[in-house]
Amino acid sequence: KDMDWSKISIAYEPVWAIGEGAQPCSPEETQRVHSALRGWLKEHVGETAARSCRLVYTGSVNEGNAAQFAQLPDVDGFVVGRAGLDAEKLLSICSTLVERKAPERQQVKPKFWVGANWKCSIQTSQGVDALVGQINDAWAQEAGALADVELCLFPPYAYLDRVRRQLRGQLHVGSQNAWDAKPGFNSTGVVSAEMLNSVGCKWVLLGHSDRRNVLLEADGLIAEKMTRCLARGLSVNLTIGEKLEERQAGKAIETLLRQLEAGTTGVPADAWSRVAVSYEPVWAIGEGAMPCSPEDAQAVHAALRGWVRDHAGDEAARQCRLIYTGSVSAENAAQYARLPDVDGFVVGRAGLDVAKLLSVCKTLAAVKAEECAAADNLKGV
C-alpha cells in the first residue's frame, strides 16, 4: 500500500490470444477483465492506487485493432510484440491511442499541491539537512498515500542548491522570490530566473504579503517577474490577498481580482498548468490569528476560478491550481481540503514540522480521493 502506484502498470495478457494467427480477446471481455482489476485495486489498496496504476492490454494488438481497445475506459495502453519491430505500425498504434484518449485526458486536473514556505526560519545548514532528511524518510514511507500530491519546499536562497541535491523522489524545491535583471544590466544582489533554473528550482513564490506589504512590491513589478519566470521555464505560485481594512470596507474581491488580473497579464495560453494562485487573507496570517472560515475561502476561490475561466478559458480554469494559505494546520486542513475550489495549501510553521506537514498532505490526498470516489459513484462508474 505504501508504494508509488503511478510507477506501476499491470498488463493483462490472455495467453491464448498471443502469437501469429491467434484470435485476440474481444474488447468486451478485455474491458470486463480490466474493470475487475481496477475494482480489486480500489477495494484492497485504495482510490489513489486505482487511479494512478495503469492497466495495459497485451494480446496481439496491431494497427488494425488498436482503436477498439484504446476506446475502452479501463485500458490505459498496450504492450506490443511484432508491431514494435515495425516503425510504421508502432507509430500508428501510438497515434491511435493518443487520439482516442485525448478527450478524457483533457479533463484530468494536475496533482494537488502543497508548498512549505520556510521563510528565514532555519538559519543553519545542519538544521536544513536534518529537516530534509526527515522529509525524505517520511515521504518514502508514505509514497502511495501521497501519489496525488505535489510537494515543493521553499528554503531561503542560501540553501536552494543544498536542499535540491538532497531531496529524493518526486519532491521539488522552489525559490521564495526572483528578481530578473534587465537584459545587459547585472544588478548587485540579483537572483535571476536563469540562475534558479540552473540549480534545479521548479517553482517560484511571487507576490507574498511579506513582499507586497512590507517591501512594497507593486502589482506591476510582480507581473514583470512572473512573466520572466514563466518564460524561463519555471512554474509560479502567485500569492494574492486582502488586508483587514480592505475586507472591512467590502473590497476584498475587488482587491483580489485586481491583483490576479495584474499578475497574470503576461501568462501564455499554454502556461496555466504552471501557475498556482494562492489566496492569502493577510488578516488571517500569523501566530494566534483566526483563520478565514471555509465558507469565505470557498467563496473567494470560486470567484478566482470564475475570473480565470472568463478571461483565459475553461482549460486554464481546470489547469490553474487555486491554493489556500491562511494559517493552515494539521487540525484544520480537512475543512479546507473539502472545498471544491481548493487544490492545495501553502504552509508556514507546519512545513517545519515533518509530522504536521505529512498530516496536512495526507489529509489533502485522502479528502480529495473521497470526493473523486463519490463523483464516480454518482456517474455510475
311 as an active site residue: the answer is no
Rounded Cα distance, 361 and 337, in Å = 10
Q: What is the DSSP string of 312-369?
A: H-HHHHHHSEEEE-SS--TTTHHHHHTSTT--EEEESGGGGSHHHHHHHHHHHHHHHH
C-alpha grid cell, residue 379: 456517474
Looking at residue 3, the DSSP 8-state letter turns out to be: S
Cell, residue 226: 512572473
State how far the Cα of 51 lies from the Cα of 39, in Å rounded to an integer: 10
Q: Please confirm, yes or no, whether 208 is among the known catalytic residues.
A: yes
Given 47, 142, 280, 301, which residue is catalytic? 280
Place of cell 477495494: 43
Which candidate, 155, 169, 168, places its Cα nearest to that of 204?
A: 155
HSE value, Cβ hemisphere, 13 Å, CA-based, for 129? 3
**Which residue of the set 34, 172, 208, 301 is catalytic?**
208
**CA–CA separation, 12 and 372 (whole Å):** 25
Question: How far from chain centre, in Å, is Cα 107?
Answer: 14
Distances (CA, A) of 128 to 75, 155, 351: 44, 9, 12
What are the catalytic residues?
208, 280
